Amino acid sequence: MSQSWSIEARDLIALEREARALGIRPGRPVSTALAGSHASRFKSRGADYLESRPYQPGDDVRQLDWRVTARTGKVHTKLFTEERERPVLMLVDLAPSMYFGSRRVLKAELAAEAAALLGWAAIHGGDRVGSVMALEPDHHEMAPAGGRRGVMALIQALVRSVPAGAESLQRPTGLGNALARLQRLARPGALTVIISDFYELDDDAQRRLRALRRHQDVRALWITDPLEDLPPPPGRYAVTDGQRKAWLDARSNSVREHYHAGWEAHVEQLKSCMDSAQIPLTRLSTDEPAARTLARAMGGKRRGVPSFKTATGY
């Protein structure tokens, strides 16, 4: 059976303009005593002490070296070497449950939109972008790279991997394996974004999420479809994952109640996990373009730091 959907590189490339409108802008410039080509938008970057030199007008007073100042009688400023390109790493979940959609796109397509948007936003902010495509049995990794080369490599990985996931639709083994790959790829201080519907959030995945959170700045994008919140009105509905068709029988009240109870349990587990790990969670739905939801979550152009707070509620 031929696919009823497709993911095209040109569509993901076209998201560059929308990524510029997300409003990710440099915040207040960092101290001139810090090396680097641009100001930091995210906290928690690592820095190594290099030396101290006499204070110069414009230096950040927070970087004053009080010991040298006291010893010499002249105000000195600390100099640091610091990598100004922060790795932005994304895990894109392509488990079978991601190949479902009742509205505009499949969840896997929405995940690709979000990843491309964040990739463009990252490189326009001067950061590097890398990814892990969570496919079974193989996960595809892309080490962080900067500039258009980095985001084009991400787009190519999405164009290859999203259809590959639809073709195999193998039984998932959970997010744990993919998060283990991400742990090996991420370095302390990196911004890591998990893009998933989180149906495979088992105990191993939760443990690895908490481990990531101890060393990285972790954000979660929760991919959902409106049909998951509430079952449709009583009836039989044809559904497809892009390749195969099946029937959803929602005529029985007991089936509808069981459906909703399962969803509520999933939501509660996800909320509990993210709250305990202190990982901000943003919900994206297949009935709305990712750019629109992310613009709300990041606060638009008036706010410089993307917060990834929940934009649409649980």
Top CATH class, 9-24+85-302: alpha beta
Q: Exposed/middle/buried for 261, CB within 10 Å: 0-12, 13-18, 19+?
A: exposed
C-alpha span between 305 and 208 (Å, rounded): 26
Instruction: State the pLDDT at residue 170.
Output: 57
Most confident of 48-57, 83-92, 246-255: 246-255
Question: 9 pLDDT band (50/70/90 cuts)?
Answer: very high
Q: Is the pLDDT of residue 198 over 80?
A: yes
Q: Domain residue spans in the chain?
A: 9-24+85-302, 48-81
Q: What does the pLDDT read at residue 28? A: 30
Question: What does the pLDDT look like over 235-268, one tens digit per residue?
Answer: 887 876 556 788 878 888 888 888 889 999 999 9
Query: Is the peptide bond between 233 and the residue preceding it cis, with omega within 30 degrees of 0?
Result: no
Confidence band (pLDDT; 50, 70, 90) for 26?
Answer: very low
Q: CA torsion, points 8, 13, 15, 19, in degrees to nearest 10?
A: 150
What end-to-end distance do the CA atoms of the chain give, in Å? 36
Joined tokens for residue 184:
């090996």
| Among the ranges given (46-55, 164-173, 215-224, 249-258), the one the predictor scored with the smallest mean pLDDT | 164-173
Q: Is pLDDT above 60 for 308?
A: no
Residue 44 pLDDT greater than 80, yes or no: no
Which single residue is written with the structure tokens 């099946």? Answer: 246
d(CA 48, CA 41): 19
What pLDDT, on the 0 to 100 scale, is given for residue 220? 95
Q: What is the pLDDT of residues 104-148, one digit of tens each?
A: 999 999 999 999 999 999 988 888 899 999 886 667 888 888 889
Mean pLDDT score of the chain, rounded to an integer?
Answer: 79
CA dihedral 9, 12, 15, 19 (to 10 degrees): -130
Q: How confident is the model at residue 73 (pLDDT cuts 50, 70, 90)?
A: very high
3-17, 183-197, 222-236, range with the lowest pLDDT: 3-17
Residue 38 pLDDT more than 50? no
C-alpha–C-alpha distance, residues 138 and 130, integer Å: 17
Calculate what percentage of the chain has a pLDDT beyond 70: 76
Residues 50, 299: Cα–Cα separation, whole Å? 36
Q: What is the pLDDT of residue 80?
A: 64
At residue 173, the pLDDT reads 58
Identify the weakest region by mean pLDDT among 185-189, 244-248, 300-304. 300-304
- What pLDDT is attached to residue 172? 55
Of all residues in the chain, the percent with pLDDT exceeding 90 is 39
> pLDDT tier at 102 (50, 70, 90 boundaries)?
confident
Backbone angles phi, psi at 223, to 5 degrees: -90, 125
Global pTM?
0.75
Question: How much is the pLDDT for 263?
Answer: 93
